[in-house]
Structure 1
Amino acid sequence: MSVTLEKTPETAREQLQTAALVLFSGGQDSATCLAWALERFQRVETVGFDYGQRHAVEMQARQTVRDSMAKALPQYADRLGDDHVVDLTGYGRIAESALTADRKIEMDARGLPTTFVPGRNLIFLVAAAALADRRGLEVLVGGMCETDYSGYPDCRHDTMVAMARALSLGLDKPVVIETPLMWLTKAQTWELAQQIGRAALVELIIEDSHTCYQGDRTHRHAWGYGCGECPACELRAAGYDEWASGR
């Protein structure tokens, strides 16, 4: 039973005959993961989740990024397949956080940021695995990372290993979860985008992807649009500055 998460480039190339489903929010990380998957798999579909997030701009950004991806990576355009949106608004009301309700972004009693949506990635992976099973997609691809991240426990490598095993048992077949950003810093994520798609992909991520927790699309920075103050913007900005300074 396979619960392999990260593969070497050689192993990934051997999987060119397979198809992948990318958990796709339209942010920097998932945009990079989509490009990574298009480079490796013959057929790539995407899935987004409407979980009642406060800012509709996130759902709008994901379609813009998808549309732009074919132009930024024309050599892989024919690999980009269908997009799916799963309605999880009921779950969002249960797992209330600063991303789904008007709450201050701060640390809670457990030491977790109030932007943490309890179990979000677990729910996403279950829904994605069910969709992938129906669509004949063998690999799930997610932008989870525990190097430069907000401390969410459902982004950790151990969580992904456990989820891959649980899904494999529950579906009675191997479920592979690929997390190409798991051990990368944000600077390295920018570098990965540069390696895959050169300036065109970096420009796409700057202009079209959305990461800001405040839903701000009015303030343009060197690294893209956002408030510049929330934890997501701070991580993205710091990573961009480190990457840009080393070029």
Structure 2
Amino acid sequence: MTLPLPTNTPASSSALVLFSGGQDSTTCLAWALEHFDRVETISFDYGQRHVVELECRTRVVAALRAQFPKWAAKLGNDHMIDLKVLGQISDTALTQAKTIQLNKDKLPNTFVPGRNLMFLTFAAAVAYRRDLKVLVGGMCETDYSGYPDCRDDTLKALQVALNLGMDQRFVIETPLMWIDKARTWKLAESLGEQRLVELIRTETHTCYLGARDVLHDWGYGCGKCPACELRARGWAAYRSARKD
């Protein structure tokens, strides 16, 4: 599999990865470690129901350091930002004890309005201070729930706004934008072979409900929420393609 290469990246080889502890952000972190000389991570506590992901991310980073020496030297500071105010002003199934369903506008009520916009704005502020030129996120238009803040057009517009507002030349990289979940698993294999695939399968967290009591073939989760279903389908397609 050909790895997606950074696009229009500034000369300074440094990146800040939005790293939640999930499958997509872990794959993006590995991608950044493969392509940049200095990589830092940032995450956000926004009152999410699946706050267990924030615990998983520390284990994932520790495993990356231990199992991938070539990346360990590149992996720098981690930043945790308290954004609980986002959860306080949101009325969604990710921040409240609500049943997951479609809203009248056909968007799932797992959509947290403004989440990625806030994440990237705060990330840019940290990157400004840390002299990191590339912001890396796991947003995707191929396998997603229709969230408007995951669209390529949204992120291109936000990149322009951040650069104008901070008088910088940040680049927002989204390595997963045009690939599905099966190819995301394949990308992880291309980056770190089966060691990375197994780490992602057993240590990362995707389930919207925060369930980690059952280890399925594809990882931990309730197995019923949209995030689990998407991850499971991607895993099945990835494994099927490996057997062909």
> Normalising by structure 2, what TM-score?
0.95
Residue 31 of structure 1 contacts residue 209 of structure 1 at CA under 8 Å; is this kept in 2? yes
2:171 maps to amino acid:
V
Closer/same/farther in 2, CA of residues 246 and 8 from structure 1, 3 Å limit: closer
Counterpart-to-counterpart distance in 2, 1:116 and 1:8: 27
Counterpart-to-counterpart distance in 2, 1:154 and 1:127: 15
Match of residue 193 from structure 1: 188
Counterpart-to-counterpart distance in 2, 1:10 and 1:130: 21
SS at match of 1:63: helix
Question: Are 1:9 and 2:5 counterparts?
Answer: yes
Gaps of at least 5 residues in structure 2 are none
| Number of equivalenced pairs | 240
- TM-superposed deviation, 1:215: 0.4
- TM-superposed deviation, 1:90: 1.0
Question: Are 1:204 and 2:203 counterparts?
Answer: no
Residue 223 of structure 1 contacts residue 237 of structure 1 at CA under 8 Å; is this kept in 2? yes
Identity of aligned residues (%): 58
Residue 10 of structure 2 contacts residue 171 of structure 2 at CA under 8 Å; is this kept in 1? no
Match of residue 214 from structure 2: 219
Aligned residues: CA RMSD: 1.6
Gaps of at least 5 residues in structure 1 are 1-6
- TM-superposed deviation, 1:76: 1.2
Counterpart-to-counterpart distance in 1, 2:86 and 2:229: 28
Match of residue 48 from structure 2: 53
Counterpart-to-counterpart distance in 2, 1:245 and 1:237: 12
- TM-superposed deviation, 1:71: 2.5
Counterpart-to-counterpart distance in 2, 1:224 and 1:244: 14
Question: Are 1:240 and 2:238 counterparts?
Answer: no
Q: Decide which of 119, 143, 161 is 1:124's aligned counterpart.
A: 119
- TM-superposed deviation, 1:64: 1.1
Match of residue 101 from structure 1: 96
2:22 maps to amino acid:
G
Counterpart-to-counterpart distance in 1, 2:168 and 2:51: 36
2:135 maps to amino acid:
L
SS at match of 2:41: strand
> Normalising by structure 1, what TM-score?
0.94
- TM-superposed deviation, 1:18: 1.2
Counterpart-to-counterpart distance in 2, 1:212 and 1:99: 10
